[in-house]
Amino acid sequence: MTRYQHLASLLAERIEQGLYQSGERLPSVRMLSGEHGVSISTVQQAYHLLEERQLIQPQPRSGYFVAPRKATPPVPALTRPVQRPVEITQWESVLELLSSRGSGAVMQLGSGIPDISRSTIKPLWREMVRLGHLQDPRLLNYDSLYGVSMLREQIARLAVDSGCRFNADDVVITTGCHEALSISIRAVCQYGDIVAVESPAFHGTMQTLRGLGIRVIEIPTDSVSGISLEALELAFEQWPIKAVIVVPNCNNPLGFIMPDARKRALISLAQRFDIAIIEDDVYGELAFDYPRPVTLKSLDGDGRVLLCSSFSKTLAPGLRVGWVVPGRYFDRVLHTKYINTGSTAVQPQMAAAEFVRQGHYMPHLRRMRQQYQRNLSVMTCWVRQYFPANICVSRPQGGFLMWVELPENFDAVRLNRRLQEHGVQIAAGSLFSASGKYRNCLRINYALPLDTHSEQAIRLLGQATEQALNDGG
Amino acid sequence: MTRYQHLASLLAERIEQGLYQSGERLPSVRMLSGEHGVSISTVQQAYHLLEERQLIQPQPRSGYFVAPRKATPPVPALTRPVQRPVEITQWESVLELLSSRGSGAVMQLGSGIPDISRSTIKPLWREMVRLGHLQDPRLLNYDSLYGVSMLREQIARLAVDSGCRFNADDVVITTGCHEALSISIRAVCQYGDIVAVESPAFHGTMQTLRGLGIRVIEIPTDSVSGISLEALELAFEQWPIKAVIVVPNCNNPLGFIMPDARKRALISLAQRFDIAIIEDDVYGELAFDYPRPVTLKSLDGDGRVLLCSSFSKTLAPGLRVGWVVPGRYFDRVLHTKYINTGSTAVQPQMAAAEFVRQGHYMPHLRRMRQQYQRNLSVMTCWVRQYFPANICVSRPQGGFLMWVELPENFDAVRLNRRLQEHGVQIAAGSLFSASGKYRNCLRINYALPLDTHSEQAIRLLGQATEQALNDGG
Ligand SMILES: Cc1ncc(COP(=O)(O)O)c(C=O)c1O
Ligand SMILES: Cc1ncc(COP(=O)(O)O)c(C=O)c1O
């Protein structure tokens, strides 16, 4: 980012946060130049940029004023999915989304990829070098079926922050949270069973259920407080449901954190109907507020929660280091782990374990939480600015994913195709439903440092959206 | 190994190979000392060791003579498993076997672990260091769903040696051969289906079938020529079999290589009954004869073979780098890969790919094949020497696993328990059957460099076996 871009985004943030109110006069060019120790022309460039973005307006001879603020879009309302078990489709679209991985040309606003380029991750590289020098034969040999014990110890230690008390021996290491979920589902369900999920829900989980021949019932979910317990209870009463899968902390895609009272109520409900809970905590450590929110697992009295997580969102997805704390389902999880992958790659486990053990993880998390929170406020500002007015936008409480809901007739899948030639890609909402809902929604990743490039992509996205709506979807 | 041990094993090998015949006089101590440039006392120590091993006998005043040779035990006969679909059990025993992984105290003669300590593996460590220094962000990011393309290219290149022509794009990288098998089975079968397997068969495959709720029909298998095609045809006629799973090259546990004509016949049979073939080639590159044997895949005209393999036996199991070449089942395999683990850990893929690309793999394979072949001849010698006479022993044509069949009333599971206190462990034959067969068999790993320690373990094993038989099993 150049100096003037930096200054501009600083000012944009202040405006966003209401430090400069709509209609208020902004500091003079001279004053800002003095305050920030930059040249007059840098300030002028920054003001021009903000003017371009329609955040400020010049008044001849009296300087710049904050432009009338567009209203903040409301949050999406409680979702209303189909209330019966359905089979999952959408694999083609998921595959399309995944296939753009690694193709550098595409601005992957649709991905679930964190920023892996910050300096706080450097010790991980150092650890990799050290492990190579050490030539510890354990790296090349079969790992224990449970996973590297030093890593399991660190995971048990970290879990204390989420209110959990378990031991290294309660943990099974997996190849990413994907494997943790896949194993957990297979430990509690069989082909043909029914599982309840949030709606919208992470497409990976949906595809896993599909691959295992399990039907889902999608439960209405509120973008602020999470899965509707009332609807869930009704579903439990009506259908022979085996398990419920939730992402209660920094939900993907809606961004909410379930309030503690509702977490407790969910546990009671599951107890009453004797249903297993698969808790996906993969974004939990990225909650903007510290200390982090508690897990369902921490409230679990009788071992019915299978806690699944990984370092994919907090550290690096390429490590493929995840874990499951399966409670009473331990034995079945262990067997399924064995038949799934035998054991987990050792080097990434060792590298991650050392990274945590040496105390690099917490500073890294802090750094990333800050970045994601700042990015969110900029992204919110851009979305308000460049998108049509009649939209709803989520208020993520952590993580790096935003959910935008457009009018009913909008088609995000078609939009994605149109954007392809511009090298921009979003995640169409329909990936997150088994019954083809949310075609009018899209999910945007704001993990990476935001620059004029990203702003241009969002502007393009907004324009394309506007145009699509004018064209009738 | 000390000098005299080295000399002793050299002489033992010559005796084994018939270069010194039974009853023949061995060279004088002085002669050997001159020939090998070692001291008189070293030769004397070597001869004492061989005498202890009952390989040679001293004759007062005329030197040492080759002891009367124990007859070579015959190979095991065609197996006779139950000829109907059965459900698989044995998980407890497999878990016991796996749980000794990493407990340094145990001499793991029961494992499937290769030797990872030879100097030809050194470049792999160097590559790990280099990758750490490079800080290539691809290592930390999500990999493509198919796997690292450079690795897939190398795998396609290597496959030419096994008679195969496929492209990088035909390969899907997996977390070890375990995942390749697990995915392949799920791509062609569903819960409740029936699959045909060799008998005995790799316990990992058996457990996978069990976990997926698939029944197996175990097909009689010859320790020299492989699965009985006659019995397989009968099974195809009688039961709605979906797939057959075989390890045709350097079979685990029997060690055979299926003759080419039988491979072709197997393909025809599968075509005639329209059945998928899952080919596990994990030991194929360790065939003692070079060039390596062809795969079924290379003879596959219509894409019905799913070729599964990994670097676990040839390079290092801790990498967890495997692959599947799924032919016509590509799409289903890809979906199942996604839901199983999302993608594969990147660093181990890159390290392995570079190891192969830089030309280190072939010399390493050559080195390991030589070691395993030498070890086999020593191990065969020890088994003949220390085990009771009425046994059958496999003649492995590659790999590092030997199968020993004892009289019907012998119980290898009980033997294993008895050996525990001595820190020795074997794989009981019953792990390799779904219907509880082969309790009278055991599998021995001869991968590691053989020393007096290993010899003692085999001697102990032989004695315990003898005693168990005397005690009635
Ligand atoms: C909610 C959720 N769970 C699980 C995963 C998968 O995590 P991993 O990459 O560790 O397999 C993701 C990643 O996209 C996710 O968003
Ligand atoms: C025949 C056979 N197939 C597959 C495997 C599993 O290989 P991997 O360690 O690559 O998962 C083994 C290892 O024990 C084996 O013996």
Q: Let me know: does B170 contact B325? Beta carbons within 8 Å.
A: yes
pTM: 0.90
User: Which residue's structure tokens are 């041990």?
Assistant: B5
Spatial distance between the Cα atoms of A103 and A101, rounded to a whole number of angstroms: 6
Contacting B residues, span 128-157, partner chain A, CB-CB under 8 Å: 128-133, 135, 137-145
B397-406: average pLDDT = 97
Q: Let me know: does A335 contact B89? Beta carbons within 8 Å.
A: no
Instruction: Report the pLDDT value the prediction gives residue B104, as an integer from 0 to 100.
Output: 59
Between A316-325, B84-93, B255-264, the lowest mean confidence (pLDDT) is in B84-93
Spatial distance between the Cα atoms of B280 and B179, rounded to a whole number of angstroms: 12
Q: Which residues contact B225 (CB under 8 A, 6 or more apart)?
A: B256, B258, B259, B262
What count of CB pairs under 8 Å joins A to B? 238
Beta strands B194-199 and B241-246 are: parallel
Closest by alpha carbon to B222, among B406, B81, B72?
B81
> Is A318 in contact with B345 (Cβ distance < 8 A)?
yes
Decide if pLDDT at A155 tops 80: yes
B103 to chain A, any CB pair closer than 8 A? The answer is no
Other Cβ atoms within 10 Å of A341 Cβ, number: 29
Instruction: Report the pLDDT value the prediction gives residue B97, as an integer from 0 to 100.
Output: 80
For the Cβ of B23 lying below 6 angstroms from any atom of ligand 1, the answer is no
Q: Let me know: does B243 contact B185? Beta carbons within 8 Å.
A: yes
Min distance A335 CA to chain B CA atoms (Å): 7
What is the CA(A282)–ligand 1 centre distance, in A? 6
B373-390: average pLDDT = 90
Decide if pLDDT at A15 tops 90: no
Q: Is B175 helix (H, G, I), strand (E, B) or coil?
A: strand
Q: Which ligand is nearest to the CA of A179?
A: 1
Q: Let me know: does A263 contact A294? Beta carbons within 8 Å.
A: yes
Instruction: Report the pLDDT value the prediction gives residue A132, as an integer from 0 to 100.
Output: 97
Beta strands A241-246 and A276-280 are: parallel
Spatial distance between the Cα atoms of A200 and A47, rounded to a whole number of angstroms: 40
A283 CA to centre of own chain: 6
CATH architecture of B121-360: 3-Layer(aba) Sandwich (3.40)
Q: Which ligand is nearest to the CA of A432?
A: 1
A87-98: average pLDDT = 80
Closest by alpha carbon to A404, among A197, A110, A207, A97?
A110
Q: What is the DSSP letter of B305?
A: E
Q: Is A334 helix (H, G, I), strand (E, B) or coil?
A: helix
A71 CA to centre of own chain: 25
Please spell the DSSP secondary structure of B226-285, one letter per residue: EE-HHHHHHHHHHS-EEEEEE--BS-TTT--B--HHHHHHHHHHHHHTT-EEEEE-TTGG
In which band, very low, low, confident or very high, does the pLDDT at A282 lie, cut at 50, 70 and 90? very high
Cα angle, residue B463 at apex, residues B408 and B20 outer, rounded to 5°: 100
Min distance A383 CA to chain B CA atoms (Å): 27
Residue of higher predicted confidence among A189 and A18: A189
B339 to chain A, any CB pair closer than 8 A? The answer is yes
Instruction: Report the pLDDT value the prediction gives residue A273, as an integer from 0 to 100.
Output: 98
Q: Convert the pLDDT of each residue in B8-37 to its tens digit.
A: 888 888 887 788 888 889 999 999 999 999
Q: Let me know: does B388 contact B73? Beta carbons within 8 Å.
A: no
For the Cβ of B278 lying below 6 angstroms from any atom of ligand 2, the answer is no
Q: Is A113 helix (H, G, I), strand (E, B) or coil?
A: coil
DSSP-assigned beta bridge partners for residue A249: A257
> Is B191 in contact with A186 (Cβ distance < 8 A)?
no
In which band, very low, low, confident or very high, does the pLDDT at A5 lie, cut at 50, 70 and 90? confident
Instruction: Report the pLDDT value the prediction gives residue B103, as an integer from 0 to 100.
Output: 60
Among 3.30.420.10, 3.90.550.10, 3.90.1150.10, 3.40.640.10, name the CATH number for the domain at B91-117+363-470: 3.90.1150.10
Number of residues that this document lists for chain B: 473
For the Cβ of B312 lying below 6 angstroms from any atom of ligand 2, the answer is yes
Instruction: Report the pLDDT value the prediction gives residue A218, as an integer from 0 to 100.
Output: 96
Instruction: Report the pLDDT value the prediction gives residue A151, as an integer from 0 to 100.
Output: 98
Q: With contacts defined as CB-CB under 8 Å, which chain B residues touch A129?
A: 129, 132-133
Question: What residues does each domain of chain A span?
Answer: 3-66, 91-117+363-470, 121-360
Instruction: Report the pLDDT value the prediction gives residue A102, as an integer from 0 to 100.
Output: 57
Q: With contacts defined as CB-CB under 8 Å, which chain A residues touch B127?
A: 132
Spatial distance between the Cα atoms of A336 and B42, rounded to a whole number of angstroms: 54
CATH topology agreement for domains A3-66 and A91-117+363-470: no
B23 CA to centre of own chain: 35
Closest by alpha carbon to B118, among B361, B425, B416?
B361
A343 CA to centre of own chain: 27
Closest by alpha carbon to A241, among A274, A267, A210?
A274
How does the average pLDDT of chain B come out, rounded?
93
Spatial distance between the Cα atoms of A274 and B66, rounded to a whole number of angstroms: 73
In which band, very low, low, confident or very high, does the pLDDT at A117 lie, cut at 50, 70 and 90? very high
Contacting B residues, span 312-331, partner chain A, CB-CB under 8 Å: 312, 316-321
Instruction: Report the pLDDT value the prediction gives residue A348, as an integer from 0 to 100.
Output: 98
> Is B128 in contact with A126 (Cβ distance < 8 A)?
no
Decide if pLDDT at B473 tops 70: no
Q: Which residues contact A384 (CB under 8 A, 6 or more apart)?
A: A70, A72, A73, A393
Residue nearest to ligand 2 atom 13, measured at CA:
B112
Closest by alpha carbon to A44, among A59, A55, A24, A29?
A29
List Cα–Cα distances, B129 to A134, A406, B439, in angstroms.
10, 49, 46
Between A5-9, A288-292, B349-353, the lowest mean confidence (pLDDT) is in A5-9
Query: What ranges make up the beta strands (E) of A253-371?
Result: 276-280, 305-310, 321-325
In which band, very low, low, confident or very high, does the pLDDT at A410 lie, cut at 50, 70 and 90? very high
B168 CA to centre of own chain: 27
User: Which residue's structure tokens are 């016509």?
Assistant: B328
**Ramachandran sector of residue A23 (left: φ over 0; alpha: ψ -120 to 50; beta: rest):** left
DSSP-assigned beta bridge partners for residue B325: B307
Min distance B441 CA to chain A CA atoms (Å): 24
Q: With contacts defined as CB-CB under 8 Å, which chain A residues touch B132?
A: 125-132
> Is A101 in contact with B145 (Cβ distance < 8 A)?
yes
Q: Convert the pLDDT of each residue in A377-398 to its tens digit.
A: 889 989 988 999 889 999 999 9
- The ipTM value here is 0.89
Q: With contacts defined as CB-CB under 8 Å, which chain A residues touch B191?
A: 190-191, 213
Spatial distance between the Cα atoms of A82 and A220, rounded to a whole number of angstroms: 9
Q: Let me know: does A407 contact A80? Beta carbons within 8 Å.
A: no
Residue A109 structure tokens? 């606003």
Residue B135 structure tokens? 């800080």
Spatial distance between the Cα atoms of B270 and B232, rounded to a whole number of angstroms: 10
Q: Let me know: does A133 contact B308? Beta carbons within 8 Å.
A: no
Instruction: Report the pLDDT value the prediction gives residue B231, as an integer from 0 to 100.
Output: 97
Q: Is A10 helix (H, G, I), strand (E, B) or coil?
A: helix
Min distance A92 CA to chain B CA atoms (Å): 10
Cα angle, residue B183 at apex, residues B206 and B98 outer, rounded to 5°: 40
Does the B3-66 domain belong in CATH 1.10.10.10? yes
Closest by alpha carbon to A26, among A1, A51, A2, A6?
A51
Beta strands A56-59 and B241-246 are: unpaired
DSSP-assigned beta bridge partners for residue B246: B279
> Is B341 in contact with A182 (Cβ distance < 8 A)?
yes
B11 to chain A, any CB pair closer than 8 A? The answer is no
Other Cβ atoms within 10 Å of A402 Cβ, number: 23
Other Cβ atoms within 10 Å of B183 Cβ, number: 33
Min distance A128 CA to chain B CA atoms (Å): 5
In which band, very low, low, confident or very high, does the pLDDT at A288 lie, cut at 50, 70 and 90? very high
What is the CA(B374)–ligand 2 centre distance, in A? 23
Please spell the DSSP secondary structure of B117-147, one letter per residue: -SGGGHHHHHHHHHHHHHT-GGGTSPPPTT-
Between B6-20, B97-111, B145-159, B446-460, the lowest mean confidence (pLDDT) is in B97-111
What is the CA(B136)–ligand 1 centre distance, in A? 22
Instruction: Kindly provide the b/e burial profile for residues A19-41, where b requires at least 16 CB atoms within 10 angstroms of the residue's own CB.
Output: ebeeeeebeebeebbeebebeee
Instruction: Report the pLDDT value the prediction gives residue A316, as an integer from 0 to 100.
Output: 98
Decide if pLDDT at B102 tops 60: no
Closest ligand 2 atom number to CA of residue B175 = 11
Nearest chain A residue (CA) to B350: A318
Instruction: Report the pLDDT value the prediction gives residue A381, as an integer from 0 to 100.
Output: 85
Q: Let me know: does A402 contact A255? Beta carbons within 8 Å.
A: yes
In which band, very low, low, confident or very high, does the pLDDT at A263 lie, cut at 50, 70 and 90? very high
What is the CA(A238)–ligand 2 centre distance, in A? 44
What is the CA(B281)–ligand 2 centre distance, in A? 9
Over its C-alpha atoms, chain A yields an Rg (Å, rounded) of: 23
List Cα–Cα distances, A116 to A294, A370, B338, B452, in angstroms.
25, 14, 22, 51
Query: Which of B181, B341, B349 best tests the A interface by mutation, with the highest count of A CBs <10 A?
Result: B341
B415-441: average pLDDT = 91
Instruction: Report the pLDDT value the prediction gives residue A205, as an integer from 0 to 100.
Output: 96
In which band, very low, low, confident or very high, does the pLDDT at B158 lie, cut at 50, 70 and 90? very high
Q: Is A425 helix (H, G, I), strand (E, B) or coil?
A: strand
For the Cβ of A203 lying below 6 angstroms from any atom of ligand 1, the answer is no
Spatial distance between the Cα atoms of A310 and B184, rounded to a whole number of angstroms: 26
What is the CA(A44)–ligand 1 centre distance, in A? 44
Using DSSP, how many helices (H) and how many strands (E) does chain A show? 15, 16
For the Cβ of A312 lying below 6 angstroms from any atom of ligand 1, the answer is yes
Query: What letter represents residue A198's amino acid?
Result: E
Q: Let me know: does A378 contact A232? Beta carbons within 8 Å.
A: no
Residue B113 structure tokens? 């672990």
Min distance A440 CA to chain B CA atoms (Å): 26
Q: Convert the pLDDT of each residue in A318-375 to its tens digit.
A: 999 999 999 999 999 999 999 999 999 999 999 999 999 999 999 999 999 999 999 9
What is the CA(B369)–ligand 2 centre distance, in A? 18
Instruction: Report the pLDDT value the prediction gives residue B105, as an integer from 0 to 100.
Output: 59
Nearest chain A residue (CA) to B180: A341
